[in-house]
Amino acid sequence: MSELLKVSGLHAGYGRAEVLTGLDLKLRQGEVVTVIGPNGAGKSTTLNALMGVLPARGQILFDGEDVNGLGLEERVMKGLALVPEKRELFTTMSVEDNLVLGGFRPMRLGIKDWRDELERVYALFPRLKERRAQLAGTLSGGERQMLAVGRALMARPKLLMLDEPSLGLAPLIVKEVFRIVARLREAGVSILLIEQNARAALEVADYGYVLETGEIALQGPAAELAKDPRVIETYLGAARKAH
């Protein structure tokens, strides 16, 4: 498998407060890579820096090209997609219009059948099809999450970055979210997954990183990380207690 993303020495922060202090991270084509870690560790900061929402120093090799320095829209066109923590839907527009807007990348690339993607997204999320005319702002939390992922998929991204897709959802919907991640993985979509739900994330991922205060504290194949006593103690043990 070839490398799709290779991040080296990434620095990012807010004003003079540096959050990421030289982050290294890799993701190969077709892999699901997860980044877990406590609140405030810099997980969202990492995704925002990769997407170009936040300025960063360091190298972001994406598909063989350093995209650091490119703007958000250019990165979208290169095939990066982010579903941010705050889903940022167009609340006064319908479900379907939100999805169609997500399709501007293939449309601009001149891919004639870009609208076919809509049916693929509806096949993945039948609930969205049922509610295609409903205003996005009136969807339930789980439906919004589906729409945010669906809209990102409309861009036919090379890399889908998900910031805590299970956040605030009921256990049954959380299961559904992880089922969808697994299904996308089977379909060959490369995914960078940020999660608080370490147990489920490590189950679905190929490789994992533990981010603590802006630095990678641990990393390894997801199945091995899930057995690491330090991970169990801090991330899996705590999750068990919470139930």
Query: Does 2 sit near ligand ATP (CB under 6 A)?
Result: no
Among 2, 16, 39, 186, binds ligand ATP (CB under 6 A): 39
> Taking CB within 5 to 8 Å according to partner kind, which of Mg ion, ligand ATP, none is near residue 197?
none
Q: Which of residues 79-138 bind ligand ATP (CB under 6 A)?
A: 85
Task: Give the CA distances from residue 117 to residues 83, 104, 107, 122, 130, in Å, rounded to whole numbers and listed in that order.
Answer: 17, 12, 11, 9, 17
Q: Which does 39 bind (CB under 5 to 8 A by kind): ligand ATP, Mg ion, none?
A: ligand ATP
Residue whose C-alpha is closest to residue 27's, from 48, 49, 51, 3: 3
Does residue 205 come out as left (phi exceeding 0), alpha (psi in the -120 to 50 range) or beta? beta
> From CA 218, how far away is CA 63, in angstroms rounded?
25
Residues that bind Mg ion (CB under 5 A): 43-44, 85
Beta bridge partners, 127, equal none
Query: Taking CB under 6 A as the criterion, which residues in 215-234 touch ligand ATP?
Result: none
Total H helices, total E strands in the chain: 12, 10
Q: In this chain, which residue has its C-beta nearest to Mg ion?
A: 44
Q: Which is nearer to ligand ATP, 41 or 154 (CB)?
A: 41
- Closer to ligand ATP by CB, 95 or 192: give it: 192
Options 43, 151, 156, 185; binder of ligand ATP; rule CB under 6 A: 43
Cα 191 to Cα 81: distance, rounded to the nearest angstrom: 10
Select the span of 39-47, 123-131, 142-150, 217-225 touching ligand ATP (CB under 6 A): 39-47
Least distance to ligand ATP, CB of residue 218, Å: 15
Token code pair at residue 3: 């490398």
Written as six digits, the tokens of 135 are 């205003």
Q: Could you list the residues that contact ligand ATP (CB under 6 A)? A: 14, 19, 37, 39-45, 85, 196
